[in-house]
A and B are shown apart, each in its own frame.
Chain A
Amino acid sequence: DQQVKQNSPSLSVQEGRISILNCDYTNSMFDYFLWYKKYPAEGPTFLISISSIKDKNEDGRFTVFLNKSAKHLSLHIVPSQPGDSAVYFCAARADSNYQLIWGAGTKLIIKP
Chain B
Amino acid sequence: NAGVMQNPRHLVRRRGQEARLRCSPMKGHSHVYWYRQLPEEGLKFMVYLQKENIIDESGMPKERFSAEFPKEGPSILRIQQVVRGDSAAYFCASSPGLAGGDTEAFFGQGTRLTVV
Contacts and interface: CB of A to CB of B under 8 A. Distances in A.
Interface of A: 4, 6, 9, 32, 34, 36, 41-46, 49, 89, 91, 93, 95-105
Contacts of A99: 45, 48, 56, 59
Given A41-B109, A43-B108, A45-B107, A96 B101 contact: yes
Which of A93, A97, A100, A105 is most buried by chain B, counting CB atoms within 10 A of its CB? A100
Interface of A is mostly: loop
For chain B, give the interface size range: 20 to 34
Contacts, number: 63
Interface stretch (B12-20, B35-43, B61-69, B72-80): B35-43
Interface string B85-116: 00000010101001111001111111000000
A43 B98 contact: no
Contacts of A4: 42
A43 B100 contact: no
Nearest to A103: B42
Nearest to B112: A41
